[in-house]
C-alpha cells in the first residue's frame, strides 16, 4: 500500500509496508450506482482531470485491481492520498465503502464538524478491460459516495485507468495517457523554471549600488 499525504497534527503517518486488502463479502451485488444515478448526483467537475490523474499515477503507480483514493482541497491540490489492493471476489459497494473509509481515516482527519464540505475525495481505480462502465464500477461509486458522507467530504470524480487510458465516468472526459501500460510522467519536468538571476554590471548595477548607499 502506498501513501501520499500532507502532515497534520490530527493524522499520523501510516506504515507504507502494511498492505490492506478488501475482504470478500460473500454477498450478491446489491449496493451500486447506475451511470444515470451517478450523472444526477451533482458530482463536481475536475478543472484539470488529466493533471490529477497523471499526478496520482506518478505517485502511486497503480497496477490492475488497485484503487487510489485522494482528497483535494479547494484549489484542486492533493491534500492526502492512499492506494490499496482489491481482493478478488464479489464486488459490493458496502465492502468498498468500508475499505475507502479506512484509508481516509488513516491519512486525513474528518470534516464532520463543518456545515458544508470544503474538501473533495476522488477515486482512481486501475483495472483490466476497457473504459466502459461495469457493475464493479457501480459498486465503487456507491462506496465512494457513502465513504465521503461518513467522513465529511464532497464526493468527487470516479476515474478508471485501463489499457486504453483513463476515463472520468459520467462525464465523458478521458485520455490515452496515462494507461495501465504507460510509464509514470516525470512531474518535476512540469514545474515552472526558476526566474532568471538578475544581470549584474552596467548602468543597472550602478543604479542599485547608489540606491543601497543611500
| pLDDT tens sequence across 123-135 | 999 999 998 999 9
Query: String of b and e for 102-120 (b: at least 16 CB within 10 Å)?
Result: ebbebbbeebeeeeebebb
DSSP code at position 113: T
pLDDT exceeds cutoff 60 at 29: no
Q: Which percentage of the chain shows pLDDT scores above 90?
A: 62
Mean of pLDDT values over 151-175: 95
Average pLDDT score over residue span 27-34: 74
Indicate if the pLDDT at residue 24 is higher than 60.
Answer: no
Looking at residues 145-168, what average pLDDT do you find?
97
Mean pLDDT of 175-185: 90
pLDDT at residue 87, as a whole number = 78
Phi-psi label, residue 65: left if phi above 0, alpha if psi -120 to 50, beta otherwise: left
More confident residue, 78 or 19: 78
Helix, strand, coil: what percent of the chain each, to 5?
30, 20, 50
Task: Quick: pLDDT tens for 31-90.
Answer: 999 999 998 888 999 999 999 999 999 999 999 999 999 999 999 999 999 999 987 777
pLDDT at 30: 67
Q: In CATH, what number does 2-213 get?
A: 3.40.140.10
pTM reported for the whole predicted model: 0.75
Q: Give the C-alpha separation, 28 to 44, whole Å.
A: 30
Nearest to 173, CA basis, from 87, 24, 51? 51
Looking at the chain, the whole-number percentage of residues with pLDDT higher than 70 is 72
Amino acid at each position: 500500500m502506498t501513501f501520499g499525504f500532507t502532515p497534520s497534527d490530527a493524522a499520523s503517518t501510516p506504515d507504507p509496508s502494511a498492505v490492506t486488502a478488501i475482504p470478500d463479502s460473500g454477498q450478491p451485488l446489491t449496493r451500486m450506482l447506475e451511470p444515470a444515478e451517478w450523472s444526477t448526483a451533482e458530482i463536481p467537475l475536475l478543472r484539470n482531470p488529466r493533471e490529477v490523474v497523471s499526478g496520482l499515477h506518478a505517485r502511486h503507480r497503480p497496477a490492475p485491481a488497485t484503487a487510489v483514493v485522494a482528497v483535494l482541497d479547494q484549489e484542486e491540490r492533493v491534500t492526502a492520498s492512499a492506494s490499496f489492493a482489491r481482493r478478488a471476489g464479489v464486488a459490493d459497494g458496502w465492502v468498498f465503502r468500508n475499505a475507502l473509509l479506512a484509508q481516509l481515516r488513516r491519512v486525513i482527519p474528518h470534516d464532520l464538524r463543518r456545515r458544508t464540505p470544503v474538501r473533495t475525495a476522488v477515486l482512481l481505480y486501475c483495472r483490466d478491460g476497457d473504459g466502459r462502465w461495469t457493475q464493479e464500477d457501480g459498486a465503487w461509486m456507491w462506496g465512494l459516495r457513502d465513504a465521503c458522507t461518513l467522513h465529511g467530504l464532497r464526493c468527487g470524480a470516479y476515474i478508471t485507468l485501463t489499457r486504453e487510458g483513463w476515463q472520468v465516468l459520467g462525464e465523458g472526459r478521458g485520455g490515452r495517457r496515462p494507461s495501465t501500460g504507460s510509464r509514470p510522467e516525470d512531474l518535476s519536468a512540469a514545474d515552472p523554471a526558476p526566474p532568471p538571476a538578475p544581470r549584474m554590471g552596467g548602468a543597472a548595477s550602478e543604479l542599485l549600488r547608489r540606491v543601497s548607499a543611500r
